[in-house]
């Protein structure tokens, strides 16, 4: 009995420290309708396509009849079993004259929770190039944003102006196996949406060709098992600060002094959040030393971030109120 009890306690402890995947329906297994045509990624709830005019992000599921060409493993992009389960999506990071024809494909989802300031997040997903693709390409990327990313602009390439936090710069030509793309980044806080695709123009995208005529004049990558998890082993203290920021005294009773030196950026403001992610303080920084008054806040740990006028994170760390 003692051995069983000890083992149960260990299992309980291990389950508690496992990070949560913040991506809902990460393998596209949950659906409300079997796909039977192009552009039906919304059937894999709650995923959707951010480009509503020229993007036709496809959804494939074994529940569909093979004759529809939107089944698994046989479909319009080629032949591939799912990395896990019975479903996947596709994205197209490149197409011939993409900037002219606006043929990029993206996929977007609202995360289960907002990302926390200064926390490091690990991103992982699997891709495989479809057999019918004329090219393989680089720049399979992830962009995390606070607000929904959606466009119906018919005059510009869809979504090429965003700066992704995760980017895979190697051209993937493997049509037989799944390639695991991984990356990590530090959140500026409040990011709630994930968009996957290519956010760079054709001129900055590397391609390779099979040198044979294929039905799809671009790239079609299967996408499966998307994961975004907080790195619980690292976090706010590992940020590579772009400015030398000192907060003192720390801990304090609620009055802090913020001193910034070696500034190479135009500082815009400071924001402070509690452990629930609620912003409790915001102020413009007009000089190198600023006093921060948090005397109206309760004891505990808080997180601050200093950003430039473009919203780029310059520094972040934690402060403690003790009375």
pTM over 0.75: no
| 256 lies in the same domain as 186 | no
| 118 lies in the same domain as 245 | no
| 125 lies in the same domain as 194 | yes
**Counting beta carbons within 10 angstroms of the beta carbon of residue 151, is it exposed (0 to 12), middle (13 to 18) or buried (19 or more)?**
middle
| Band (281; pLDDT cuts 50, 70, 90) | very high
Given a contact cutoff of 8 angstroms between Cβ atoms, the answer to whether 106 and 57 are in contact is: yes
Q: Is residue 180 part of a domain?
A: yes
Given a contact cutoff of 8 angstroms between Cβ atoms, the answer to whether 59 and 43 are in contact is: yes
| 223 lies in the same domain as 254 | no
Domain count, the chain: 2
Picking from 211, 230, 249, the residue at the C-terminal end of a domain is 230
Backbone φ and ψ of 181, nearest 5° = -100, 125
Indicate whether 147 pLDDT > 70. Answer: yes
Q: Is residue 2 part of a domain?
A: no
Q: Is residue 247 part of a domain?
A: yes
Q: Is residue 304 part of a domain?
A: yes
Mean pLDDT of the residues in the chain: 81
| 262 lies in the same domain as 166 | no
CATH code at position 37: 2.60.120.260
Q: Is residue 10 part of a domain?
A: no
Indicate whether 45 pLDDT > 80. Answer: yes
The dihedral through the CA atoms of 208, 211, 217, 220 has a sign that is negative
Q: Is residue 245 part of a domain?
A: yes
For the stretch 54-78, pLDDT in tens is: 667 899 999 998 888 999 999 988 8
Indicate whether 17 pLDDT > 60. Answer: no
Indicate whether 263 pLDDT > 70. Answer: no
| 176 lies in the same domain as 317 | no
| 224 lies in the same domain as 201 | yes
Name residues whose C-beta falls within 8 Å of residue 268's C-beta, 6 or more positions apart in sequence.
Answer: 284, 285, 307, 308, 309, 310, 311
Given a contact cutoff of 8 angstroms between Cβ atoms, the answer to whether 193 and 147 are in contact is: yes
ω into 209 cis (within 30 of 0): no
| 159 lies in the same domain as 250 | no
Would you state the pLDDT for residue 33?
94
CATH code at position 247: 2.60.40.1930
Full residue range of the structural domain in which residue 247 is found: 239-321
Tokens standing for 79?
Answer: 């032949």
| 199 lies in the same domain as 314 | no
Would you state the pLDDT for residue 8?
34
pLDDT (average), residues 157-162: 71
| 259 lies in the same domain as 167 | no
User: What's the residue count for the chain?
Assistant: 323
Indicate whether 307 pLDDT > 70. Answer: yes
For the stretch 185-241, pLDDT in tens is: 999 889 999 999 998 888 888 888 765 555 555 688 999 999 999 987 654 444 444
Q: Is residue 113 part of a domain?
A: yes
- List the end-to-end C-alpha distance of the chain, in Å, as a whole number: 46
Given a contact cutoff of 8 angstroms between Cβ atoms, the answer to whether 308 and 265 are in contact is: yes
Name the residue with higher pLDDT: 5 or 221. Answer: 221
Indicate whether 141 pLDDT > 70. Answer: yes
Given a contact cutoff of 8 angstroms between Cβ atoms, the answer to whether 222 and 164 are in contact is: no
């Amino acid at each position: 009995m003692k051995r069983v009890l000890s083992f149960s306690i260990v299992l309980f402890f291990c389950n508690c420290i496992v990070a949560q995947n913040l991506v809902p329906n990460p393998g596209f297994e949950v659906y409300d309708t079997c796909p039977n045509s192009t552009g039906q990624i919304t059937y894999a709830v709650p995923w959707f396509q951010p480009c509503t005019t020229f993007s036709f992000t496809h959804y494939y599921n074994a529940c569909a009849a093979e004759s529809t060409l939107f089944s698994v493993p046989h479909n319009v992009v080629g032949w591939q079993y799912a990395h896990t389960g019975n479903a996947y999506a596709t994205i197209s990071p490149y197409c011939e004259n993409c900037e002219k024809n606006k043929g990029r494909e993206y996929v977007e989802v609202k995360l289960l929770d907002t990302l926390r300031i200064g926390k490091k997040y690990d991103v992982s997903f699997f891709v495989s190039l479809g057999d019918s693709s004329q090219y393989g390409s680089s720049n399979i990327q992830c962009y995390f944003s606070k607000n929904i990313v959606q466009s119906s602009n018919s005059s510009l390439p869809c979504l090429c102006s965003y700066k992704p936090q995760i980017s895979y710069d190697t051209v993937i030509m493997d049509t037989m196996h799944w390639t695991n793309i991984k990356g990590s980044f530090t959140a500026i806080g409040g990011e709630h949406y994930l968009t996957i695709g290519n956010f760079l123009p054709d001129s900055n995208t590397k391609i390779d060709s099979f040198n044979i005529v294929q039905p799809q004049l671009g790239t079609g990558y299967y996408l499966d098992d998307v994961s975004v998890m907080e790195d619980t082993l690292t976090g706010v203290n590992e940020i590579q600060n772009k400015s030398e920021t000192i907060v003192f005294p720390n801990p304090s009773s609620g009055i802090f002094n913020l001193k910034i030196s070696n500034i190479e950026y135009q500082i815009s403001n400071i924001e402070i959040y509690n452990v629930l992610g609620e912003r409790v303080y915001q102020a413009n920084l007009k000089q190198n030393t600023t006093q921060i008054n948090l005397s109206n806040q309760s004891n505990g740990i808080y997180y601050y971030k200093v950003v430039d006028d473009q919203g780029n994170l310059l520094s972040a760390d934690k402060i403690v109120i003790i009375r």
